[in-house]
Amino acid sequence: MSERRTQILRAAVRVIAQDGVRGLRIEKLAAAAGVSTALIYYHFKDRSGILHAALEHINRRAENYTEPAQATNGDPLAELEQMLLLELQDIDEVRENSVAWGELRASAVFNHDLRKALQTTTRAWNTDIEDLVGQAKAVGGVAADVDPALAAEHLTALVEGLSERWHSGSISLHRARQVLTQVIAGYRARTT
Amino acid sequence: MSERRTQILRAAVRVIAQDGVRGLRIEKLAAAAGVSTALIYYHFKDRSGILHAALEHINRRAENYTEPAQATNGDPLAELEQMLLLELQDIDEVRENSVAWGELRASAVFNHDLRKALQTTTRAWNTDIEDLVGQAKAVGGVAADVDPALAAEHLTALVEGLSERWHSGSISLHRARQVLTQVIAGYRARTT
DNA sequence: GTCTATACAGAGATAGAC
DNA sequence: GTCTATCTCTGTATAGAC
């Protein structure tokens, strides 16, 4: 992919994180990227083209920082906790991504075109978490009667809910992390 | 409140549920309400006035159907489950409200004016659920070491997360209800 | 209170030069 | 590939009659 394209896409994520998908203005994006509006149309055809490309870009970034972070000494549940808490951090890149991701979800409610990309990434995330729960089960970290798929959907949906509350000012970041931590603790070798 | 106002507000909720807060067009709203655009400005001053009034209206509706539904024989946890599952139903009024409410949250991420109304309703909801968890604790329905406030935030944030996934097509309604039911079941007299 | 007609601004998109 | 200039459409908002 050309330099220019990525330059514009990076700017797009920034602008989306600030104004939302539906608040994205080509002129503002052009300013943020330091190029003319015409160039944006040249590279992305139209508004919807930019949006799709930007959302793909967000997905790719999301997949990246999902990768194994620190050593967790083979404790799958600890790794899971780390992976989920990753989304709830006040660091520019993470917050930007998380807000933009939330916007993608919110927009997909009304724009059916966006749903497919959303589903793919959501499923991938669910699967990652499901695997970790499965591993935790194998080593006795969680009870045998926990359904990994169900637990994964529970945890990821919860993270999304907490993120949006955080971004919309209805819960503090600290509190959100606390809720999540407690819920995960609740999975440690218990019943159901 | 005048007849006309409520007529317009009802239409507004419908339109918001269909196109989102940011997709609301005065002309479309006028058509949906069967009035002229000028009349809308007459009653609500400007676009933002309509939005605020519509969101208040949504809040009022939400508070209503939150009321005790069916007899639950004094089982607080059953009542809680019923109250939360209420949000996950494929019935026009509920879905409309739930979508509109999701839009309010999503818009509040970028529009700080909306946050106050959001916080108020969120807090009220949390408190209701917290009370029920407290009652359940009192009758031994949930373990003594469960923190009702934390549990309430967990459950309500989860419902929001599941709702949005449902509305954006990333989870089926049935599956969302299943996840929620299981999570609540996990609270029945257990540790943490 | 309610409508018709219209002014005005903002934002998406394109033409054409370099 | 990239820019400047500009066209055009859509959507908010108002004027003024009834």
pLDDT tens track for A74-106: 788 999 999 999 999 999 989 999 999 999 899
Range name among A5-19, B53-67, B158-172 with the lowest pLDDT average:
B53-67
Q: What is the dihedral of CA A47, A48, A51, A55, to 10 degrees?
A: -170
Nucleotides of C under 7 A from a protein CB: 1-6, 11-16
Res. A58 pLDDT band, cuts 50 70 90: confident
Indicate yes or no: CB of A182 within 8 angstroms of CB of B102: no
Q: Is the pLDDT of residue B192 over 60?
A: no
- Closest residue by C-alpha to C1' distance, nucleotide D1: A39
Res. A65 pLDDT band, cuts 50 70 90: low
Q: Which of A90, A76, A87, A95 has its CA nearest to residue A16?
A: A95
Tokens 């998908």 belong to which residue? A21
Would you say how long chain B is, in residues?
Answer: 192
Q: Which of A141, A144, A140 has its CA nearest to residue A80?
A: A141
Q: Show residues of chain A in contact with B191, CB under 8 Å.
A: 190
Average pLDDT, chain A: 92
Q: Is the pLDDT of residue B54 over 60?
A: yes
Res. B80 pLDDT band, cuts 50 70 90: very high
Indicate yes or no: CB of A179 within 8 angstroms of CB of B153: yes
Would you say how long chain A is, in residues?
Answer: 192
Indicate yes or no: CB of A22 within 8 angstroms of CB of B23: yes
Q: How far is CA B82 from CA B65, B93, B125, B180, in A?
A: 11, 17, 14, 11
- Structural domains present in chain B: 1-58 (1.10.10.60), 66-192 (1.10.357.10)
Q: How many C-beta atoms lie closer than 10 Å to residue B182's C-beta?
A: 16
From the list B153, B178, B190, the residue facing A190 with the nearest CB is: B190
Q: What is the pLDDT of residue A178?
A: 98
Among left, alpha and beta (phi > 0; psi -120 to 50; other), residue B111 is beta
Res. B178 pLDDT band, cuts 50 70 90: very high
Q: What is the pLDDT of residue B190?
A: 63
How many angstroms separate the CA of A38 from the C1' of D4? Answer: 10
Q: Is the pLDDT of residue A25 over 50?
A: yes
Q: Show residues of chain A in contact with B181, CB under 8 Å.
A: none
From the list B110, B147, B168, the residue facing A20 with the nearest CB is: B110
Res. A55 pLDDT band, cuts 50 70 90: confident
CB-count exposure of residue A118 (10 Å: 0-12, 13-18, 19+): buried
The residue among B70 and A21 whose pLDDT is bigger is A21
d(CA A133, CA A187): 9
Q: What is the pLDDT of residue A67?
A: 62
d(CA A189, CA B6): 53
Among chain A residues, the shortest Cα distance to B99 is held by A109
Region A51-79: mean pLDDT is 80
Res. A192 pLDDT band, cuts 50 70 90: very low
From the list B18, B106, B119, the residue facing A106 with the nearest CB is: B106
Average pLDDT, chain B: 92
d(CA A145, CA A192): 6
d(CA B70, CA B58): 23
Q: What is the pLDDT of residue B4?
A: 94
The residue among A169 and B140 whose pLDDT is bigger is A169
Range name among A89-93, A112-116, B136-140 with the lowest pLDDT average:
A112-116
The residue among A75 and B156 whose pLDDT is bigger is B156
Among B70-79, B124-133, B138-147, the range of highest mean pLDDT: B124-133
**Do residues A46 and A53 lie in contact, with contact meaning Cβ atoms separated by under 8 Å?**
no
Range name among B39-48, B109-118, B142-151 with the lowest pLDDT average:
B109-118
Q: Is the pLDDT of residue B41 over 60?
A: yes
Q: Is the pLDDT of residue B93 over 60?
A: yes
A146 beta carbon to strand C: under 7 Å:
no
**Do residues B161 and A157 lie in contact, with contact meaning Cβ atoms separated by under 8 Å?**
yes
92-111 of A, contacting B, C-beta below 8 A: 99, 102-103, 105-110
A179 touches chain B (CB under 8 A): yes
